[in-house]
Amino acid sequence: MPAPLSHIRVLDLSRVLAGPWAAQFLADMGAEVIKIERPRDGDDTRGWGPPFALQPSEADPGISAYFACTNRGKRSVTVDIAHPRGQEVIRALAAQSDVLIENFKVGGLAKYGLDHASLAPVNPRLVYCSITGFGQTGPYAPRAGYDFLVQAMGGLMSVTGEPDGAPGGGPVKVGVAISDQIAGMNALAAILTALLKRERTGEGEYIDVALLDSTVSALINQASTYLVAGTVPKRMGNAHPTVVPYQAFRTADGHIVLAVGNDGQFQRFCAAAGLEHLAADELYRTNAARILNREALIPAIAASIRQRTSAEWIALLEARAVPCGPINSIDQVFADAQVEARGMRRLLDHEKAGPLAVVANPVRMASHDTTAAKPPPLLGEDTEAVLHGLLGLSADEIAELRTNGIV
């Protein structure tokens, strides 16, 4: 069977993470994704190493581990969009594409005639997605937006980390570029929605996705706590504001996470831990009561958990259907039996880098392998094929563009 999006062509003018993350998912689902990169240098993240899957050289910027995480399945075409002839190439590609993704500063593509207003007449069916730090409107629209900055401004760091006054207390960012990733997934959802709408109306769409908006929406229950009750959430380390006990605990040889999501699980945990008296106490019988009395409850649980090893606790609690687990390092993640069984580590065959390990797409479909087999491309490896195959340029015309540094 053809891949679900094999009929879709995506023109990816984005760089770094949010836009490329959305485009990679589309590639995984079978879309033809043409990644436009700067001649000679390419996407900034090609140089974000070491480590490198393919070492850079004078002739090629290589493939960093960072670039490899978000660019599989794509075709790389080099175009200098600052040159009028390069702009003509992009307009011609946009005329034959279904989706365009870009993450330039607000107004950055207008001066090249490559903004939505300029391209919509060229291709009225085009789904055009702009991803920026702060969106196309509002007082911050002209600012550059980076993940770390937006995690801070969007409130995420105010609820991440140990409380003020505790050892190591203070705001902490999430260990991955989560604002970029969430914005990329929001962009993906909007693109797919717009494509569905286009099937019905025949019309394209303009999509405006902001990292800040995406981060604010990702505050979920923490934002709702403030909006409903006027209470400003604070950093609580690994504890949960409205579920108890739901946090990390030290064991005899490390740590485990205990995630008690309901009163029945609490009863079973107490029985396993020899803490039946806590389960019977009106101060702790319900989750609401445990929230009010967590300061007395948590030390009693912590003292009990310190008496056994992590492996002992996991075996004991899993047998009683009490959610718990280890805190794995990333090497332990990929050695985990469940992660291995789900095939989350995938090897792609790269002609120069050799076998290249990537994280598989987490979505499974019965009809389609949802991880693109094509490895992250070398810079400009598909330039001739795309310019000749899609735009009909001759070998001499492409050579002239190369000589002038346009591609």
- Residue positions annotated with a catalytic role: 180
Structure-derived torsion over alpha carbons of residues 234, 147, 128, 102, reported in degrees to the nearest 10: 170
> With left for phi above 0 and alpha for psi between -120 and 50, is residue 308 left, alpha or beta?
beta
Tell me, letter by letter, the H, E, C secondary structure of the chain: CCCCCCCCEEEECCCCCHHHHHHHHHHHCCCEEEEEECCCCCCHHHHCCCCEEECCCCCCCCEEHHHHCCCCCEEEEECCCCCHHHHHHHHHHHHCCCEEEECCCCCCCHHHCCCHHHHCCCCCCCEEEEEECCCCCCCCCCCCCCHHHHHHHCCHHHHCCECCCCCCECCCCCCCCHHHHHHHHHHHHHHHHHHHHHHHHCCCEEEEEEHHHHHHHCCHHHHHHHHHHCCCCCCCCCCCCCCCCEEEEECCCCEEEEECCCHHHHHHHHHHHCCHHHHHCCCCCCHHHHHHCHHHHHHHHHHHHCCCCHHHHHHHHHCCCCCEEECCCHHHHHHCHHHHHCCCEEEEEECCCEEEEEECCCCCECCECCCCCCCCCCCCCCHHHHHHHCCCCCHHHHHHHHHCCCC
Distance between CA atoms of 263 and 397, rounded to whole angstroms? 72
Question: Residue written as tokens 């000679």?
Answer: 40
Contact 245, 209 (CB under 8 A): no
